[in-house]
Structure 1
Amino acid sequence: MPPGEPSRHENTSLTDTTSLADNTSLAETPSRAMRTTVPWERLGRLVSAAGSATLEVRTPLDGSVLGTVPRSVTADVAEAILLARAAQPAWAARTPRSRAAVMARFGRLVLDHRDEILDLTQLESGKSRLDAFEEVVDAARTASHYAHVAPDLLRPQRRPGAVPVLTRTVELRRPKGVVGVISPWNYPFTLAVSDAIPALLAGNAVVLKPDSRTPLTALYGVALLRAAGLPDDLLQVMVGPGAELGPALIEGIDHLMFTGSTATGREVARRCGERLIGLTAELGGKNPLIVLPDADLRRAASGAVRSAFANAGQLCIAAERIYVHRAVYDAFLTAFLAVVGRLRLGVGLDWRHDMGTLASPAQLERVTVQLHDAVARGATVLAGGHARPDLAPWYVEPTVLADVPSEATMACTETFGPVVSVQPVADLEEAIVRANDSEFGLSASVWTAAGRGEAVAGRLDVGAVTVNEGYSAAWASHAAPMGGWKASGLGRRHGVEGLLAFTESQTVATQRLLPLEPPPGRRGAALAFVTGMTPGIRLLDRFR
């Protein structure tokens, strides 16, 4: 399809098949609203599943069943990969600009269907509407960014040849083939589609396995991609347990994009290593936030609250450890706790709440166990500390702790919930030592005078540092890479690396006029060749 040509799907309206809007207030009659406004059956048709088994999807808003989707089994994985692989050559044969046009249309469709995506994301994950909006913006901007830069990044690149004029060398970027994407439940829309976008733009097919708890938002994203003009078989979706489908997926694909825990990431890396296929993995974090004496404390307090409690703390790049210079510790803590106390708690498909709920009983148990362990070992609760089943079945108040001892599980293990510890430090050096004292290295936040922030950032052992912002500035800089050091991951999403990771580089060198080797079988030819080449090499080195 030539660049700019309208897709045959361009005028397809999703309103009749995937709109979630009606006049029912979830707060008034949650069960009826969730039963009657979501067309699960239409979305379920996108799942690669030959059998009759299904999975229930429950909403964290009240624990009721949203609906059911087909359940994929191991045999479906091979079939999905086969279909994707068959569709991939024709897609790869299209120009990068033609593929980019599809993604640009997808980005516009995301914004056009903003409210439906917000509703569905909230229903499946339990997050606040503002947190759901982050997913809409991120997916739209990812599509727009890569649609803009991919054609230039993927075009053949001239490289200096072995001998100027005589050697023409070109680097090509070839698609891997079939890319697997395993996406998590905490950002079910954007991490499903935004990781698929660069893989597809690079000319690959994709097999997507969203988390079993949140498949519907991922399926909605796939529906939008197809409405934007993506060939149907090119993107396959499987829904089922990761322990069952993951190994079968890895056995058949050519590269894997995985977002999840470090423990699972190690097993995934082992399996990918055995097959010698590429892996991009964003894993866990125990992210520090540092407040220095020259920081704007009111802004720092507000930013720290957002960084710690966005998505109820269920965010890989959320701040879980706050280190504050002793000179401003009391002032910061007073301001910080005041902002925490003003948070509007609750759930609902509206803009009234600042923090939503945990996504599952498993998350509630994880947070509760860590919280009780920390308090039993001497931690002090400065705010929150209680479950709130009156708000939602798995809701936990935003919780601030002080005096968390080093032996507490929470001190070194990712909590992934609305709990943050605050600790004074004597100076910058202590803050840096404590921030780096972790097996993780995903993200950090530094609050200080702007000119000083970059110098501090350069001493932190993490993949991304945001100065005078919680995490949004770094994450939303889509032209820059994002990923973890140490136990926080492999490779990068976003940036040039986030696209080229889904390609294989190929060097094509064409020699003209004179060969680079002496003719075989001639007496003295080798010596004459070496004698002539040596000064030529010196000359090349001089002018290179």
Structure 2
Amino acid sequence: MLVLMSSTTTARPGVSPSLSEAPVSAARVAALTGLIRSTTGESRTTRTPFTDQALAEVPVSSLDDVDAAFDAARVAQVRWAGTAVRDRASMLIRLHDLVLAHQGELMDLIQLESGKTRKHAYDEVLHLALTARYYGRRLRHLAGSSRKVGVFPLITQVTVHHVPKGVVGIISPWNYPLTMALADGIPAIAAGNVVVQKPDSQSPLTALAALELLRKAGAPTDVWQMVSGAGSVVGTAIVQQADYICFTGSTATGTGIAKLAAERLVGYSLELGGKNPMIVLPGADVEKAAEGAVGACFSSAGQLCVSIERLYVHDSLYDDFRDAFVRRVSSMSLGASLDWDVDMGSLVSASQLETVTKHVDDAVANGATVVTGGRARPDLGPYFFEPTVLEDVTPAAECFAEETFGPLVSLYRYGSVEEAVELANAGEYGLNASLFGPVPLAKRLAPRIKAGTVNINEGFAATFGSVDAPMGGMRTSGTGRRQGDEGFYRYTETQSVGVQRLVPVAGPAAIPAKPYAAVLTFLLRVLRRTTVRR
């Protein structure tokens, strides 16, 4: 655990009062920030959301630093691509072990930079360890070549290879500062690429601690480099040089990145915004659905792309569900604590607090009712806001269709399952959805929901935690997929190598074109009745 000093935080009954006032030692900060490529001599101050106290002085990178990172990366990539697959796989297994061994410090940093609770910080440790182990174990299969059926069986042989793209640029967010810092890049380096990354300016220490563990696991220095600075400057420079871009963040920023990438004809994967729905189906267990909704809506204080912000409940269950849900939400504990006994932490910044406050006030002004919550809690910390449930939200309210990205959820009634599907699919987003109720009914409905992930009797963790399954958005929630095979192959170019034996595909020079075409026609009719296996 990091070097801490004791203090207290005023809290209502049931809220853990403990938090350090001097969260990270100067020596540790210096060790981590020394991993950033920076020659400017300039720095910016990061602050912990819990208290708004200064946390670290973080070096700022220049455009020359970005250029130098890419120059070094391109040299390193040639060597790294020649590294044996088994050695890359072994490195990832070592990373798995190191993440688990250093989870205490990692959770401290996650909390101090993002404001989330201990148990939600552990979710990141778990996800990163699972991702490292998954690709470590699957790499031999994923990186291997495969045989395909040639145009002429036996005479034509085709082998498909997966060639690394080169230098991958990663721009990672603040809300999941550990897992989003490394989980997207793990399959990239596993495939033989190298990475130049800009972590969010709010949460660089967590990303740097993860990079330190990656190097301890055996990754050469220039295989994964970090630069720091404003997204409009440093982030744009990465997009302008990378051979592939991975971005997690807002739809507006993602659209701009896509335009820049299109000008250079390079690939990208974007996980963007979401206004995610949950449907409580007829026949659902109300208590289980209410319990699931609490985690789905208020994990990481709702600052999660796959978090639920719209709750649709069948008329027959609505009153019972609302009472069960509100009872649980109103009893949640809030606080700034590095212990495990708090249910929800802080928002990350003044701007996030402003957005949540604005959405609640605007909804009420347009006829909505606050069922529980609805208040900022400056007695706990500068950016705390109570978990909030609204009813009677009208289309005139900003939070009706806009993503809040905070601890705010709206309750709605519906009469028929068809209506519920239509409501869930309303709007422009399509990232995540949840269905609570009888599994056979939920399975029938799931393919009709316009979302990249659909969780049955869970909020988001069933798909997010299943690293063998792809994850990503539809519509304006993004493009491309992380995790699973797709999360690996997005970082590769598919190359087909064909070997022709005995006769060329166009036929021997001694045979005129017309009779050769007749022979081919005959052979096609024979092959039509023949099963050729790979």
TM-score tier (shorter):
over 0.9
Partner of residue 12, structure 2: none
Bigger mean CA deviation after superposition, 160-169 or 170-179: 160-169
**Distance across 1 between alignment mates of 2:292 and 2:27:** 35
Pick from 297, 305, 324 the counterpart of residue 316 of structure 1. 305
Bigger mean CA deviation after superposition, 88-97 or 321-330: 88-97
**Distance across 2 between alignment mates of 1:129 and 1:351:** 5
Give the unaligned 5+ runs of structure 1: 1-18
2:521 aligned with 1:534? yes
Given the two structures, how large is their TM-score scaled by the length of structure 1? 0.94
**Distance across 1 between alignment mates of 2:418 and 2:514:** 62
Q: Contact conserved, 1:25 with 1:33, CA < 8 A, in 2? A: no
Partner of residue 422, structure 2: 433
The Cα of 1:36 is off from its aligned counterpart by 3.2
2:174 aligned with 1:185? yes
Pick from 429, 449, 460 the counterpart of residue 460 of structure 1. 449
**Distance across 2 between alignment mates of 1:195 and 1:96:** 19
The Cα of 1:35 is off from its aligned counterpart by 4.8
Partner of residue 362, structure 1: 351
Partner of residue 20, structure 1: 2
**SS at 1:440's partner residue?**
coil
The Cα of 1:55 is off from its aligned counterpart by 1.4
Q: Contact conserved, 2:174 with 2:203, CA < 8 A, in 1? A: yes
**Distance across 2 between alignment mates of 1:90 and 1:25:** 50
**Distance across 1 between alignment mates of 2:422 and 2:507:** 59
**Distance across 2 between alignment mates of 1:24 and 1:198:** 40
2:156 aligned with 1:167? yes
Partner of residue 399, structure 1: 388
The Cα of 1:38 is off from its aligned counterpart by 6.7
**Distance across 1 between alignment mates of 2:221 and 2:512:** 60
**Distance across 2 between alignment mates of 1:92 and 1:518:** 38
**Distance across 2 between alignment mates of 1:26 and 1:232:** 41
The Cα of 1:438 is off from its aligned counterpart by 1.3
2:274 aligned with 1:285? yes
**Distance across 2 between alignment mates of 1:100 and 1:399:** 45
Q: Contact conserved, 1:288 with 1:320, CA < 8 A, in 2? A: yes
The Cα of 1:519 is off from its aligned counterpart by 4.2
Q: Contact conserved, 1:31 with 1:64, CA < 8 A, in 2? A: no
Q: Percent identity?
A: 45
**Distance across 2 between alignment mates of 1:404 and 1:29:** 37
What code does the residue aligned with 1:529 have? Answer: Y
Deviation per CA, 1:193-235, whole angstroms, max 9, x where unpaired? 1011010101000001100011000000000000000001111
**SS at 2:162's partner residue?**
strand
Give the unaligned 5+ runs of structure 2: 10-16
2:501 aligned with 1:500? no
The Cα of 1:499 is off from its aligned counterpart by 0.4
Runs of 4 or more above 6 Å deviation: none
What is the RMSD of the two structures over their aligned residues, measured on CA atoms?
Answer: 1.4
CA distance change for structure 1 residues 492 and 529 in 2, over 3 Å: closer, same or farther? same
Deviation per CA, 1:444-478, whole angstroms, max 9, x where unpaired? 00001122211111111111100001111111111
CA distance change for structure 1 residues 362 and 294 in 2, over 3 Å: closer, same or farther? same
Pick from 68, 74, 85 the counterpart of residue 96 of structure 1. 85
Partner of residue 189, structure 2: 200
Partner of residue 420, structure 1: 409
The Cα of 1:267 is off from its aligned counterpart by 0.4
Q: Contact conserved, 1:26 with 1:349, CA < 8 A, in 2? A: no
The Cα of 1:123 is off from its aligned counterpart by 0.6
Given the two structures, how large is their TM-score scaled by the length of structure 2? 0.96
The Cα of 1:25 is off from its aligned counterpart by 6.3
CA distance change for structure 1 residues 449 and 21 in 2, over 3 Å: closer, same or farther? farther
Partner of residue 28, structure 2: 39
2:91 aligned with 1:109? no
Partner of residue 13, structure 2: none
What code does the residue aligned with 2:30 have? Answer: E
CA distance change for structure 1 residues 31 and 340 in 2, over 3 Å: closer, same or farther? closer
The Cα of 1:528 is off from its aligned counterpart by 2.4
Deviation per CA, 1:118-140, whole angstroms, max 9, x where unpaired? 11110111000011000000000
The Cα of 1:541 is off from its aligned counterpart by 2.4
Deviation per CA, 1:325-350, whole angstroms, max 9, x where unpaired? 00010000000001101211111111
Deviation per CA, 1:383-420, whole angstroms, max 9, x where unpaired? 00000011110110000000100121100010000000
**Distance across 2 between alignment mates of 1:348 and 1:43:** 23
**Distance across 2 between alignment mates of 1:530 and 1:277:** 40
Partner of residue 13, structure 1: none
